[in-house]
Amino acid sequence: MRRGLNFVLAIAAGSLLLVACVSDGGGPPESANTSRGPIEVWLSTNPEEVAWGEQVVASWNSQHPDEQVTAQQIPAGKTSEEVIYSSIVAGNAPCVVLNTAPSAVPQFQQAGGLVALDTFPDGDSYVEARTGKEIADQYRSPDGRFYQIPWKVNPVMIFYNKKLFAEAGLDPENPPLATWDEFLQTSRTLVQKGVAPAAIWPAPSSEFFQSWFDYYPLSAARTQQQLVEDGKATFDSPDGLAVGQFWRTMYAEKLAPQEKYNGDSFKDGAAAMASAGPWAIPVYKDTIDWGVVPIPTEDGKPADQIYTFSDEKSLAIYYACEHRLTAWEFVKSATTEAADGELLELTGQMPMRQNLPEVYASYFATHPDYEQFADQAGRVVEVPNVQNSTEIWQTFRNAWTSAVVFDDEPIDKAFADAAARANELLAEE
């Protein structure tokens, strides 16, 4: 027994030595900031984005034979953050990821994985000129620097199925969905008339990002505030509780199911409404005769005052990049007015460019579907750019599923406990 213990200790000691000796590698030298050369970029697997991305890459490659760009697809969704984070840690992250979630930026930045834009002389000014200072500032990190380029936004609005609405006896062109009471009543009508199993079917599961499609749009419409303001959580307030209570009613009256739907419930006709952004238009266009309205507010605010969740994705330049100047130039070329226009046409997602409806007036004239989203894109609320943001969202989501979805505890207590925990996390250095 003792001999065995010695053996184990010897191995452990040897391993500690191994741990100490395993090299760190070190990052690229300072000169990388002005270096040019071939780079790798990652796209999401969204087919329309891939089509756009390949076009942009091909066009760049034809003009820059010495700075070839190779594009790779990585799966979007929860797992993409893990893939990116692992590659940061492994030191083999690409130069640009055209699918960086703003909620992950604090974590990536803390891990030293991102390059600040003010490394480049026109870094900050470019972003502000393109997106507009007010909106762009939502994307600065707590230290005031930009670690991401706000790229495209999918403002969340309410899609509704015109055919199902008509079947339920509701006006398919002007459905009563502006106030909370109207929304609830409409939902009841839809379900009672049996046109669909659910009025609306947001995912009730406990992944940290699901709140972005049920709580957050309504909260944004009501208060224009982020989840965290001035270092404190905002959901433990009369406004936050009101939104929670609204959704509790939806779940209690079985207007929204408590179980996750496998697939797209709106597309399958299992739900008469959906909270989604313009990315969904290509998905629905062949199967559903859809209409869209802004997020409901309690008193029915006018549409041009309603804010919503942005569902934004950024571009970011990553630390392991050895030819950062090329990366920056590529990012700029992917966000010119022409490139943004291509993005709009191919994917329907809104580039984060000021005055969208005017800049692409001809496009919107021929695609009136998208115009409402373009208008909405100027009024979006982003996820807070704070330390521990993922954990804060998870804490909130746990409280949400427990109190709002399953009524296992009172909403005010659940939100209060979650806010206390969130504030603790925010107070950490």
Partner 1 sequence: MSTPLPISSEGTPAQDLEVETPPRNRFRVFVLALGAVLFIFPFYYMVIGSFQAVADKSLSGILPHPGNMTVTNYQEINDAIDAPRALLNSSIFTIGVLLFTVLFGLLAGYALAVMHFRGRATVLSFVLLVLVIPFQLLQIPLYILIVRSYGLGDTYIGMILPFAINSTAVFIFRQYFLQLPRELFEAARIDGASELTTMLRVAIPLARPAILNAVLLTFIGPWNEFLWPFLVTKQQDMQPFAVALANYMNNVAGRATNPDGANMAGGVLLAIPPVVLFLIFQKHFTSANIGSGVKG
Partner 2 sequence: MTLVRGAKSGSTIEGGLDVEKERWLGRQPIGLLFILPYVIFLIGIFVYPLVVQFVISFYDFFFAAPGADVDRPWVGLQNYADVLQDPTFQRSLFNVFVFMIINVPATVFLSLVLAYALNTKIRGLWFFRGAYYAPYVTASVAIVTVWLFMFGVTGIVNTVLGPLAPDPSWLINSYWAMPMIAIFVTWKQLGFFILLYLAALQNVPNEVYEAADVDGAGAVRKFRSVTVPGVRPATTLVIILATITGMNLFTEPYLLTNGGGPNGASVTPVFYMYQKGVEQGQAGYAAAIGMILLAITLLIALVQRRLLERD
Q: Which residue has the tokens 């620097």?
A: 145
What residues are paired with 150 via a beta bridge? Answer: 314
State the Cα–Cα distance between residues 339 and 344, nearest whole angstrom. 9
45 binding partner (options partner 1, partner 2, none; Cβ < 5 to 8 Å by kind): partner 1
> CB–CB of 403/248 below 8 Å?
yes
Report the residue number, 45 or 305, with the smaller CB distance to partner 1: 45
Based on the shown chain and the rule CB under 8 A, indicate whether residue 20 belongs to the binding site for partner 1: no
Does the CA dihedral 133-139-142-145 come out positive or negative?
Answer: negative
Based on the shown chain and the rule CB under 8 A, indicate whether residue 396 belongs to the binding site for partner 2: no
Largest separation between any pair of C-alpha atoms in the chain:
83
CB atoms within 10 A of CB 138: 18
Report the residue number, 87 or 187, with the smaller CB distance to partner 1: 87
Which range binds partner 1 by CB under 8 A, 131-139, 207-215, 262-270, 399-407?
262-270
Counting Cα atoms < 13 Å in the Cβ hemisphere of 174 gives 0
Based on the shown chain and the rule CB under 8 A, indicate whether residue 406 belongs to the binding site for partner 2: yes
Which 8-state DSSP code applies to residue 154? -
> CB–CB of 150/139 below 8 Å?
yes
Which range binds partner 2 by CB under 8 A, 284-292, 325-333, 351-359, 387-395?
387-395
Report the residue number, 75 or 144, with the smaller CB distance to partner 1: 75
- How far from each other are the two terminal CA atoms of the chain, in whole angstroms? 47
CA dihedral 161, 162, 168, 173 (to 10 degrees): 130
Site string for partner 1, 266-295 (x = CB under 8 A): -----------------x------------
Q: 345 CB contacts (<8 Å, ≥6 apart)?
A: 363
Report the nearest approach of partner 2 to the CB of residue 295 (Å): 25
Among 73, 206, 237, 333, contact with partner 2 (rule: CB under 8 A): 206
Based on the shown chain and the rule CB under 8 A, indicate whether residue 87 belongs to the binding site for partner 1: yes
Among 34, 79, 174, 355, contact with partner 1 (rule: CB under 8 A): 79
> CB–CB of 252/411 below 8 Å?
no
72 binding partner (options partner 1, partner 2, none; Cβ < 5 to 8 Å by kind): partner 1
User: In the structure encoding, which two tokens stand for residue 121, read together?
Assistant: 């002389």
State which of positions 239-298 bind partner 2 (CB under 8 A).
Answer: 257-260, 262
CB atoms within 10 A of CB 172: 17
> CB–CB of 183/348 below 8 Å?
no
Site string for partner 1, 145-164 (x = CB under 8 A): --------------------
State which of positions 67-96 bind partner 2 (CB under 8 A).
Answer: 78, 81-82, 85, 88-89, 91, 93
Contact footprint for partner 1 (CB under 8 A)? 3-4, 7-8, 22-23, 25, 45, 72-77, 79, 82-83, 86-87, 89-92, 262-264, 283
Contact footprint for partner 2 (CB under 8 A)? 11-12, 14-16, 18-19, 24-28, 78, 81-82, 85, 88-89, 91, 93, 107, 110-113, 197, 204-208, 257-260, 262, 319-320, 388, 390-391, 394, 398, 401-402, 405-406, 408
